Every structure is written in structure tokens, then in C-alpha cells.
Amino acid sequence: MSARELIAVARGDAQGDLLFTNGRVVNTFTGEVEETDVVVYGGRIAGLGEGYSARQTIDLHGAYLLPGLIDGHTHVESSLLWLGEYARAVVPHGTVAAASDLHEITNVCGLYGMEQAVLACGELPFDLYLMVASCVPATRTWRPPAPPWAPRRSSAPWP
């Protein structure tokens, strides 16, 4: 999908892949609920409003549509759940991504732990965005005790 194709769908000059009709779109900026149609092309929302066409149409019969929510600061490991179970708990409630510094995992397992967390998200309907941990190591003199199963150095090439 090119930007040119997406714009053509947004302008109504080309057909979308999917058209949701008779939906109620939750506007998270204004807090309003707008009754409108939504056209999707290439997995992206191309436009809202009337007059769009698509290869497939789904009548929502007044059901709500709202964007996926992003938790802007969380410590996933503080939930005591690994990423798959964390996603299972939050995705049904609308959270599709989170930003985390993974400082607890990193203090215990180092880069290996961060790698495992990122790899665990690979097949999930959930995105994990990493921030630089502010407290790794936890103190100037403390070195994390690497668990016996963790390699001393990362095996994956990280940018």
C-alpha cells in the first residue's frame, strides 16, 4: 500500500478494503460519540464519513468503534505477569500498546531479560515500546546477580 493509494481512498476516488457502516465512533479527544462510517485500506483507517465504498462492508448496527489505547508509562513486570498473560489481561479492555522501561527485568537479567521481553511480544496483539531505564543498575555499587540460566552477554545483535 502506498501513500498515494491511501489518499485516493480517503478522498473517495478509490475503493477501500473494508467499510464499517452505522457505527458510533468514540472521539477520545473531544469525548464525543459520532455516528459515522469508517473506511479501511491496507490495515489503516483511510476516512470517516458517508460516501465511501469498499470490497467488504460490515454493518455495525450502532456498535461502538474506538481506537486502541496506549499505556504511556507502566512497569509490566510489576504486574507479576509475563507479556502474554499481561496482554491477555489488558487487550480486551482496549490497551494495545505500552511504554515500559523494564527496569526490574533489566536489573535482574540484564540485556538478556530485555531481549526476552521484546521477543515475547512478537506474536501478540500488543506492542511494547521500550524506554531507557532510569535505575539500572539500582545503585552505583550494586551489580545484578545474573540467574544461572541467563547468558553473560547478549547473543542477539542489538542496534
Q: Which of 63, 82, 67 is nearest to 121 (CA)?
A: 82
Distance CA 2, CA 112 (A): 37
Instruction: Match 454493518 to its residue by C-alpha cell.
Output: 59
Residues 6 or more apart in contact with residue 23 via CB below 8 angstroms: 35, 36, 37, 38, 60, 62, 63, 64, 65
Domain 68-159 has CATH 3.20.20.140: yes
- Do residues 114 and 133 lie in contact, with contact meaning Cβ atoms separated by under 8 Å? no
CATH 3.20.20.140 range(s) for the chain read 68-159
- pTM, entire model: 0.60
pLDDT tens per residue across span 104-147: 888 788 788 888 888 888 888 988 888 877 766 666 665 655 55
CATH 2.30.40.10 range(s) for the chain read 3-65
Give me 16's grid cell.
477501500
Averaged over 55-73, what is the pLDDT? 93
Q: Which CATH architecture has domain 3-65?
A: Roll (2.30)
pLDDT tens per residue across span 65-113: 988 889 988 888 889 998 999 999 999 988 999 998 888 888 788 788 8
Q: In the beta sheet, which residues pair with residue 26?
A: 33
